[in-house]
Amino acid sequence: MITIQANEVNKKYGDTIALRDLSLSVEKGELFGLIGPDGAGKTSLIRILTTLLLADKGTATVNGHDVVKSYRAIRRQVGYMPGRFSLYQDLSVEENLRFFATAFGTTIEANYDVIRDIYQQIEPFRRRRAGALSGGMKQKLALSCALVHRPEVLFLDEPTTGVDPVSRQEFWQILKGLQERGITILVSTPYMDEASLCDRIALIQDGQLLGIDTPAALRKAYPHPLWDLQSSRRYELLHFLRQQEFTLSVFPFGETLHLATRPDVPEHQIRESCYSQGFTDIQLTRIEATIEDCFMDRMAPTADPEIH
Amino acid sequence: MKTILFLLRKEFLQIFRNRVIVAMIFVMPIIQLLILANAANYEVRNLKLQVIDQDHSSWSRQLVGHFTASPYFNLTGMVASAKKGITAIEADEADLVLHIPSGFERALRREGTASVHLNINAINGVKAGLASSYAQTIILDLHQEIMPVVELPAGLSSTFRYWYNPDMDYYTFMVPGILVLLVTLVGMFLSGLNIVKEKEIGTIEQINVSPIRKHQFIIGKLLPFWIIAQVELALGLTVGWLVFDIPIVGSLGVVFAFSSIYLLVVLGIGLLVSTFTDTQQQAMFISWFFLVIFILMSGLFTPIESMPGWAQQITRLNPVTYFVDVVRLVLLKGSSWWDIRSQWIALSIFAVVINGAAVLNYRKTD
């Protein structure tokens, strides 16, 4: 059963195109990730699906309700956590939660089971003003507020941006727990490493869909031989590799370089050409593609000389 | 209704948690009334007077005596010539120079008429006007005194009385107007800023995805400030009555009924401003722009009758003008609800138009 459906959605802000003909569907109970850099159109899509923004063209449904015609029904069934922490800083933790519960005509007590795992962690501070909470606690409060009315679908816009790595991991554990309760979750993130935690992901760039599948299938579909290179002269090596005939693309990846080559280029050929230029300390390893590699590959067609 | 009630609860919780706002709500009426009512006083005292007495007669001395006895003038020196008098004005040693020419008393006794000359420093127009009228009153007093002696021709003499403010007490005149300022500040600023704040911190998004309806949200935002402004008015009236002893001739019910409508207008302006601004800074700036125009053109500090024709037309669109007018009419004159019908009808129309525009614009920006 399909819970979220977008059909050729378009959105423009003046001359800037935020979304072009974007279509996707999310199954009930799925943990679905929208992966893309800042400005890719993730927030626009979420705002359209949560009835906060009108699309210029195209249709969308959430839980079978049209986002334009039945927006009021959608608002009762979805939870939304915007990218920016936006709760009342001058109200206490408990007052914030109570306010959002009442806004949906319900109480904290009636839905305590949904938020218990998350809320228990901040409950000791329930009399503290939301503005005085730490980043991780603010995030948990925001999630509690988005969940307090027992939504069937949860939209999270970059929930882990600006959160420390430990809290990020913890947060994804929480999302998994919510998924087990049967809540459909659509989450956007600029962090490629979080993509593998989703059931399925959509890669988005410049308002366009670059690919949509399970993380494993996307990685498997990566079409080129891929190598990881380490060198103490990373920058010079990058320049050198860009000029090589066997190179399709090369880009920095953390502390190393990821090199995609033409098919059937043997390892010793790469190694030897590097040695011949004095890059004697290189470590070359054949690797499986990560989501980031898939993203870079789809974003930049290999024919593009600029990226190459 | 239940939704509006819990929105109100939340607003009041937030307002009363903000110490600065709470302090302002209670301190503002008292401070503003105490300071403004005393500062915005048209009475000018201790005008610096210099006299050129070239007559040296008993009547000329009598005239000077009248001036020095008056609380309005302070004799700062006697000068010998008209030229020196002008120098004194230029040096800011005199606001007013009274020139009594030689032969003043003789002319009065023989011909029944004589003139004195006044040079007035008009750098400050209001002060100059007042100096002139005080001086003329004093000269008229002398005229009254010497009339039986010289059997002056029975010229036209006027007597007058100030109605509704018999002593021309400036507190009576200013305090009701300042009450209007208080109510306007609360209504226009706090409401608009509060809505924009929700935009600024992003909570309006959270509200928008909830089943709370637009009208519930707007009422929940405006009603708290409607109530606070009325409390403010009551506080201000109490201070005015206790400290300044302002008369309350008419019904307070009429004042509050009128302020109920008036507040709809100013709250509507705040709401309208909030619909096309994204930050509190923008909202503040725009509200302030309107407020300054409204106040300066309200007839509170300068009479509308002395404005040019086009400006007088503009004041007809100024809600503050109507309320200043009504507060004075009701408190000082005792006007009834029926007497001020043209004012509340006009304001009711404003209220509908402004709130209508605000709500329409609010939807558009959704």
pLDDT of residue A98: 93
* Residues A52 and B209 sit within 8 Å (Cβ to Cβ): yes
* Residues B64 and B75 sit within 8 Å (Cβ to Cβ): yes
Residue A63 belongs to a domain = yes
Residue B158 belongs to a domain = no
Please report, for the domain that includes residue A256, its CATH number: 3.30.70.100
> Domain range holding A183?
2-219
Residue B238 belongs to a domain = yes
pLDDT of residue B154: 45
If asked whether residues A124 and A239 sit together in one domain, one would say no
Residue B121 belongs to a domain = yes
Of B262, B284, B295, nearest to B194 by C-alpha is: B284
If asked whether residues B192 and B331 sit together in one domain, one would say yes
Helix (H, G, I), strand (E, B) or coil at A307: coil
If asked whether residues B71 and B13 sit together in one domain, one would say no
If asked whether residues A260 and A152 sit together in one domain, one would say no
The residue from B94, B118, B150 where one domain ends is B150
If asked whether residues A93 and A143 sit together in one domain, one would say yes
If asked whether residues B58 and B85 sit together in one domain, one would say yes
Residue A274 belongs to a domain = yes
If asked whether residues B134 and B265 sit together in one domain, one would say no
A50: nearest CB among B14, B209, B211: B209
pLDDT of residue A307: 38
| B10 vs A contacts (CB less than 8 Å) | 88, 91, 95, 99
Residue B12 pLDDT greater than 70, yes or no:
yes
If asked whether residues B171 and B305 sit together in one domain, one would say yes
Residue A39 belongs to a domain = yes
If asked whether residues B360 and B221 sit together in one domain, one would say yes
Residue A6 belongs to a domain = yes
How many structural domains compose chain B?
A: 2
Residue A157 belongs to a domain = yes
A100: nearest CB among B17, B18, B206: B206
> Domain range holding B271?
2-40+166-364
If asked whether residues B236 and B208 sit together in one domain, one would say yes
Contact A82 B206 (CB under 8 A): yes
In chain B, the percentage of residues whose pLDDT exceeds 90 is 23
Contact B202 A75 (CB under 8 A): no
Q: What is the pLDDT of residues B292-311, one digit of tens each?
A: 999 888 887 777 777 888 88
Measured CA to CA, the distance from residue B291 to residue B298 in angstroms comes to: 10
Residue A42 belongs to a domain = yes
Give chain B's largest Cα–Cα span.
94
Contact A82 B202 (CB under 8 A): yes
Please report, for the domain that includes residue A36, its CATH number: 3.40.50.300
If asked whether residues B20 and B65 sit together in one domain, one would say no
Give yes or no for B5 touching A (CB within 8 A): no
Give chain A's largest Cα–Cα span.
72
pLDDT of residue A308: 34
Nearest CA in chain B to A67: B209
If asked whether residues B307 and B170 sit together in one domain, one would say yes
pLDDT of residue B160: 54
Closest CA of chain A from B198, distance in Å: 9
User: ∠A251-A254-A256 over CA atoms, to 5°?
Assistant: 65
Residues pairing with A62 in the sheet: A4, A65
Residue B311 belongs to a domain = yes
Q: What is the pLDDT of residues B245-303, one digit of tens each?
A: 888 888 999 999 999 999 999 999 999 999 889 899 999 999 999 999 998 888 877 77
The one-letter amino acid code at B63 reads: L
If asked whether residues B232 and B191 sit together in one domain, one would say yes
Measured CA to CA, the distance from residue B342 to residue B331 in angstroms comes to: 17
Helix (H, G, I), strand (E, B) or coil at A3: strand
Least confident of A73-82, B106-115, B231-240: B106-115
| A55 vs B contacts (CB less than 8 Å) | none
Please report, for the domain that includes residue B88, its CATH number: 3.40.1710.10
Closest CA of chain B from A69, distance in Å: 15
Residue B27 belongs to a domain = yes
- The distance in angstroms from the start CA to the end CA of chain A is 42
If asked whether residues A77 and A94 sit together in one domain, one would say yes
pLDDT (mean) for B239-244: 86
If asked whether residues A189 and A269 sit together in one domain, one would say no
The residue from A219, A248, A273 where one domain ends is A219
How many structural domains compose chain A?
A: 2
If asked whether residues A23 and A47 sit together in one domain, one would say yes
* Residues B7 and B212 sit within 8 Å (Cβ to Cβ): yes
The residue from B150, B177, B210 where one domain ends is B150
Measured CA to CA, the distance from residue A187 to residue B130 in angstroms comes to: 74
Residue B70 belongs to a domain = yes
Closest CA of chain B from A45, distance in Å: 15
A51 Ramachandran zone, left/alpha/beta (phi>0; psi -120 to 50): left
Of B330, B174, B235, nearest to B26 by C-alpha is: B235
Give yes or no for A232 touching B (CB within 8 A): no
Residue B155 pLDDT greater than 80, yes or no:
no
If asked whether residues A238 and A164 sit together in one domain, one would say no
- The residue with greater pLDDT, B37 or A122, is A122
- Which B residues 13-42 touch A at CB under 8 Å? 13-14, 17-18
Q: What is the pLDDT of residues B181-191, one digit of tens each?
A: 888 988 888 88
Of A167, A127, A117, nearest to A147 by C-alpha is: A117
If asked whether residues A174 and A228 sit together in one domain, one would say no
The one-letter amino acid code at A163 reads: V
| B211 vs A contacts (CB less than 8 Å) | 72, 75-76, 103-105
Measured CA to CA, the distance from residue B210 to residue A50 in angstroms comes to: 10
Residue A102 belongs to a domain = yes
User: ∠B20-B24-B27 over CA atoms, to 5°?
Assistant: 130
Residue A279 belongs to a domain = yes
> In the structure encoding, which two tokens stand for residue B128, read together?
């100059």
Of B143, B118, B132, B148, nearest to B62 by C-alpha is: B143
Residue B160 belongs to a domain = no
Residue B157 belongs to a domain = no
What is the 3-state secondary structure of chain B?
CHHHHHHHHHHHHHHHHCHHHHHHHHHHHHHHHHHHHHHCCCCCCCEEEEEEECCCCHHHHHHHHHHHHCCCEEEEEECCCHHHHHHHHHCCCCCEEEEECCCHHHHHHHHCCCCCEEEECCCCHHHHHHHHHHHHHHHHHHHHHHHHHHCCCCCCCCCCCCCCCCCCCHHHHHHHHHHHHHHHHHHHHHHHHHHHHHHHHCHHHHHHCCCCCHHHHHHHHHHHHHHHHHHHHHHHHHHHHHHCCCCCCCCHHHHHHHHHHHHHHHHHHHHHHHHCCCCHHHHHHHHHHHHHHHHHCCCCCCCHHHCCHHHHHHHCCCHHHHHHHHHHHHHHHCCCCCCCHHHHHHHHHHHHHHHHHHHHHHHHCC
Which residues 6+ apart lie within 8 Å of B42 measured at CB? B126, B130, B170
pLDDT of residue B364: 56
Which residues 6+ apart lie within 8 Å of B11 measured at CB? B194, B220, B221, B224
Mutate to test the interface with B, among A68, A90, A92 (most CBs of B within 10 A): A90
Q: What is the pLDDT of residues B39-80, one digit of tens each?
A: 766 667 778 888 888 888 888 888 888 888 888 888 888 888
If asked whether residues A215 and A228 sit together in one domain, one would say no
Residue B174 pLDDT greater than 50, yes or no:
yes
Q: CA-CA-CA-CA torsion for A122, A126, A129, A130, nearest 10 degrees? A: 40
pLDDT of residue B35: 81
Give yes or no for B68 touching A (CB within 8 A): no
Residues of chain A with pLDDT under 70: 85, 300-308
Q: How far is CA A265 from CA A220, A248, A273, A289, in A?
A: 19, 11, 12, 17
If asked whether residues B74 and B16 sit together in one domain, one would say no
If asked whether residues A276 and A182 sit together in one domain, one would say no
Q: Quickly state the pLDDT bin for B162 (edges 50, 70, 90).
A: low
User: ∠B345-B348-B349 over CA atoms, to 5°?
Assistant: 90
Q: What is the pLDDT of residues B340-366, one digit of tens each?
A: 999 999 999 999 999 999 988 887 544
Measured CA to CA, the distance from residue A252 to residue A279 in angstroms comes to: 16
Contact B212 A103 (CB under 8 A): yes
Cα-trace Rg, chain B: 28
If asked whether residues A191 and A227 sit together in one domain, one would say no
If asked whether residues B223 and B331 sit together in one domain, one would say yes
Q: What is the pLDDT of residues B122-140, one digit of tens each?
A: 777 777 777 888 888 888 7
If asked whether residues A34 and A112 sit together in one domain, one would say yes
What value of ipTM does the predicted structure carry? 0.77
> In the structure encoding, which two tokens stand for residue A299, read together?
């974003």
How far does Cα B63 stand from its chain's mean position? 35
The residue from A177, A192, A219 where one domain ends is A219
- Which B residues 197-236 touch A at CB under 8 Å? 201-203, 205-212
Contact B201 A80 (CB under 8 A): no
